[in-house]
Amino acid sequence: MPNVTIQDVFQAGVVGAGGAGFPTHVKLAGRADTLLINAAECEPLLHKDKEVLREYVDAVIEGMAVAMQLVGAGRGVVGIKEKYQDVVELLQSKLPEKMDVAPLRDAYPAGDEFVLVYDILKRVIPPGAIPLAVGAVVMNVETAMNVAVAAKQPVTEKFLSIAGAVAEPVTLRAPVGVTLRECVEAAGGPTVSDPNYVVGGVMMGYLEENHDALVDKTTGGVLVLPDDHVVVRRRRQDWPQIVRIGRSACDQCSFCTELCPRWLLGHPIEPHLAMRSLEFNLVGESNVIGTAFCCECNLCSLYSCPEDLDPKNVCTQNKRRLMQEKKRWENPPFNPRRPELHMENRKAPMRRLMQKLGLTQFRNVGPLNNTVLRAARVGIKLKQHIGAPCEPTVAVGDQVTKGQPVGQPPQANGQPALGAPVHASIDGTVAAIDDGIIWIQRR
Ligand code: SF4
Ligand code: SF4
């Protein structure tokens, strides 16, 4: 096992690579009995975690061992879809004592931390809490790999799936700071004349209008879809449209609630009540405090609702307003028996979800291209994580080498604020520092 300390993990700038971007050194400072490696990857057409596991299984296992030691865990489990039989068998042949594999059903959501902890450990995380509350730490596959090498190699590269309407769907290995457009071109380019980029997955990701937006340490993938695709049309609905249609068409069937993964876990979120509240409050918004516990999985809007309404956006709009107003539900009610009664038979099968979202026309593959994408210029964002943006530690005109720190979290009370350093991902010259981005031109 490599000798890696929590300080190494901080200095290497390791953050959650699965999308959340939580600084990993903070997570590893907790105490837990079990470490879960999240390889569930339930966003349709995204494949990078499975590909990374297949190619770098030894490094992921080393990262698991380091993380288990740091948090004091006696058990490590990799949660991965059972359909990836070859990777499951590879893991079974490699995992040492105290580590095992948990094959998961091909359903959505499976990678949500709360769902993963329940599926593997049968422990229910209370509403508003984190996995540590039930003795677990959850870590993405790529994050574990970054932890394994943290003592000698900072995070300068990202694996990401490029899929949908592209010539050759692929899992790319790209320098942090390359543009989304360059990644799509590396997958053979779009096969449609009106490409739209959905970043991070059709369920929980977002429509990125700027095709030159930058890859950061959390970018999991880009799906290219044409203008008339249902996912693009749904993403383009504006708030007044969502409210107007929701008010007039919701028949309170409550399917959105009965399939909501957080409600199934016993949490007090009931999206049909949020929809109902659109009808009777004076501000034209939802007003139900349980929306604070929505995980934004989008299942209610993109799968459950027979009317194609948007309870997810109604819940999240209300959740953000409650946060702004600093309204919290202290000691929310909680039914930890509900998952054992309903969870198993109410998951959304991936095949049905793909059909409903019009994704079955795309090739569901993503072989790894292990050659690092070459970029002439990269833009290193000073904020690629939860917490405070970094402050630049270089100036325009400086020569930098790949792996050199170029930004550090600010100090707060003599300690670094929540965050993680950022590093140059190519050798080059700092060409500009502008709008929270350090631009590096290759030498
Ligand atoms: S599933 Fe759709 S129609 Fe039914 S209650 Fe929820 S939002 Fe309303
Ligand atoms: S997005 Fe919908 S289904 Fe998902 S947690 Fe929120 S309310 Fe529940």
DSSP string covering 227-291: TT-HHHHHHH--HHHHHHHHHHH-----HHHHT-HHHHTT-S--HHHHHHHHHH-TTSS---GGG
User: 166 to each of 49, 212, 418, how far by Cα in Å?
Assistant: 20, 17, 38
User: What number is the average pLDDT over the span 391-409?
Assistant: 98
Report d(CA 405, CA 310) in Å as an integer.
43
Where b means 16+ CB within 10 Å and e means fewer, 150-166 reads: bbeebbbbbbbbbbbbb
Relative to the CA of 304, which ligand 2 atom is closest?
A: 3
Does the beta carbon of 255 sit less than 6 angstroms from any atom of ligand 1? Answer: yes
Q: How much is the pLDDT for 20?
A: 81
Answer whether residue 282 shows pLDDT above 80.
Answer: no
Which residue among 112, 202, 250, 260 has the greatest number of ligand 2 atoms within 8 angstroms of its CB, and so is best to mutate?
260
Tell me, in angstroms, the distance from the centre of ligand 2 to residue 336's CA.
18
Does the beta carbon of 73 sit less than 6 angstroms from any atom of ligand 2? Answer: no
pLDDT tens readout for residues 53-68: 999 999 999 999 999 9
Contact 35, 194 (CB under 8 A): no
Q: How confident is the model at residue 416 (pLDDT cuts 50, 70, 90)?
A: confident
User: What number is the average pLDDT over the span 303-318?
Assistant: 95
The chain-wide mean pLDDT, for the chain, equals 95
Concatenating the DSSP letter of every residue in 113-182 gives HHHHHHHHH---PPTT--GGGGTEEEEEHHHHHHHHTTTT----EEEEEEEESBSS-EEEEEETT-BHHH
Q: Determine which residue's CA is closest to atom 8 belonging to ligand 1.
A: 250
Tokens of 375: 């970029």
Identify the nearest ligand to the CA of 302 by its number. Answer: 2
Contact 199, 206 (CB under 8 A): yes
Highest mean pLDDT among 68-77, 282-291, 332-341: 68-77
Does the beta carbon of 304 sit less than 6 angstroms from any atom of ligand 1? Answer: yes
Tell me, in angstroms, the distance from the centre of ligand 2 to residue 268's CA.
11
User: What number is the average pLDDT over the span 222-233?
Assistant: 97
Identify the nearest ligand to the CA of 315 by its number. Answer: 2
- Strand order of the β-sheet with 422-423 is 391-392, 405-408, 422-423
Which residue among 272, 276, 288, 304 has the greatest number of ligand 1 atoms within 8 angstroms of its CB, and so is best to mutate?
272
Which residue among 251, 263, 277, 299 has the greatest number of ligand 1 atoms within 8 angstroms of its CB, and so is best to mutate?
251
Residues 6+ apart with CB under 8 A from 401: 424, 427
Q: How much is the pLDDT for 283?
A: 60
Tell me, in angstroms, the distance from the centre of ligand 1 to residue 352's CA.
19
Does the beta carbon of 262 sit less than 6 angstroms from any atom of ligand 2? Answer: yes
Written as one letter, the residue type at 33 is: D
Answer whether residue 414 shows pLDDT above 90.
Answer: no
Does the beta carbon of 271 sit less than 6 angstroms from any atom of ligand 2? Answer: yes
User: What number is the average pLDDT over the span 38-43?
Assistant: 94
User: What number is the average pLDDT over the span 425-443?
Assistant: 97
Phi, psi of 253 (to 5 degrees): -70, -25
Q: Is 209 exposed, middle or buried (0-12, 13-18, 19+ CB in 10 A)?
A: exposed
Q: How confident is the model at residue 384 (pLDDT cuts 50, 70, 90)?
A: very high
Tell me, in angstroms, the distance from the centre of ligand 2 to residue 334's CA.
16
Answer whether residue 201 shows pLDDT above 90.
Answer: yes
Report d(CA 170, CA 441) in Å as an integer.
26
User: What number is the average pLDDT over the span 220-231?
Assistant: 97
Helix/strand/coil for 338: helix
Tokens of 13: 């700038």
Answer whether residue 280 shows pLDDT above 90.
Answer: no
Name the pTM for this structure.
Answer: 0.94
Does the beta carbon of 273 sit less than 6 angstroms from any atom of ligand 1? Answer: no
Does the beta carbon of 158 sit less than 6 angstroms from any atom of ligand 1? Answer: no
Identify the nearest ligand to the CA of 305 by its number. Answer: 1
Identify the nearest ligand to the CA of 270 by its number. Answer: 2
Contact 274, 234 (CB under 8 A): no
User: 2 to each of 10, 60, 149, 226, 238, how far by Cα in Å?
Assistant: 16, 12, 8, 46, 50
Answer whether residue 216 shows pLDDT above 90.
Answer: yes
Tell me, in angstroms, the distance from the centre of ligand 2 to residue 194's CA.
30
Answer whether residue 420 shows pLDDT above 90.
Answer: yes
Alpha carbon distance, N-terminus to C-terminus of the chain: 36
Output the CA angle 83-85-86, nearest 5 degrees. Answer: 140
Relative to the CA of 249, which ligand 1 atom is closest?
A: 3
- Is the pLDDT higher at 20 or at 442? 442
Report d(CA 403, CA 407) in Å as an integer.
11
Calculate what percentage of the chain has a pLDDT beyond 90.
Answer: 89
Q: How much is the pLDDT for 413?
A: 83
pLDDT tens readout for residues 166-194: 999 999 999 999 999 999 999 999 999 99
